[in-house]
Amino acid sequence: MAPERIPNALSIAGSDPSGGAGVQADLKAFSALGAYGMCALTALTAQNTTGVRGVSGVDPAFLRDQIDAVFDDVRVDAVKIGMVGSAASVQVVAECLERHRPGVVIVDPVMVAKSGDRLIDDAAVAALRDRLLPLASLVTPNLPETAVLLGEEDVPATVEAMEAAGMRLLGIGARAALVKGGHLAGDAVTDMLCEPTGARAYGSERVPTRNTHGTGCTLSSAIAALAPASATMADAVDAGRRYLVMTLRAADRLSVGHGHGPVHHFADLWANDPAQRWLGAERPLQSTD
């Protein structure tokens, strides 16, 4: 019997040194869901759970080198794109996707950090809309990002408006759109998946925690990790949302920072105290010290 093929997933995004968002969150989600994670950095950030102190973009030519280095050597089953930062970098990413043609592309249009800090300029927004949306298997904007992508002032304020906005995203080039409703008030959270065949709502109870840093990164990367083995994008979205809810419910078990802390990507895998498993394990190999 042939061994099960482990999917390879590439994150193209910025770095979060505090570990809760960006490529760090993506790699954690990939690993937790059984995918081999890789990354190409678009930017370095100086940030923590309380806010962003600075952003330094990676030279677009070097971004291209990173992406090509991965594709030239490794089978890439899925790509997740997060913060890109500049129009020039968006152009590079789009050109690489057109050249290498990965089967799954999830675009999370990261524009604003949880703290409210802006992470992307207007020219990059326009390039993302015009160049990346048509290449995406799925785009996953929150409500403010949805309005920005559509060039509209009014942010969707109801589930019905979310569905209508998602369909308009299809009209400007997206193949599928998951409009995330976490900004709406209430004890429940509804996300709306819009595809050419119709729309589907996903609902879940709102998890009472302030530790929500990196939720968008985590959901989009979870979908990317799961999509290669999913029969439909709707199945990958459903499973990715259930994983995110699990990480949120366990977020308060972590003690990271003084602001919006991260979700717990490995909550189910760490349930049996893996440190003690290894510290208490028999040692058949002799130390080389």
Q: What are the extents of the domains in the chain?
A: 8-279
Query: What pTM, to 2 d.p., does this model score?
Result: 0.94
Q: Report pLDDT for 2.
A: 47
| 260-286: average pLDDT | 85
| Rounded Cα–Cα distance for residues 25 and 18 (Å) | 10
Q: Residue 287's pLDDT is what?
A: 57
How far CA 14 is from CA of 39, 160, 204, in Å, comes to 9, 33, 29
CA 36 to chain centre: 15
Residue 269, pLDDT above cutoff 80:
yes
Task: Please give the average per-residue pLDDT across 161-165, as a whole number.
Answer: 97
Strand stretches in the chain, DSSP E: 8-15, 36-48, 51-57, 78-81, 105-107, 138-139, 177-180, 188-195, 198-205
In percent, how much of the chain has pLDDT > 90?
83
**pLDDT interval class at 1 (50, 70, 90):** very low
What is the average pLDDT across 18-37? 98
* Structural domain 8-279, CATH architecture: 3-Layer(aba) Sandwich (3.40)
Residues annotated catalytic, as ranges: 180, 212, 214-217
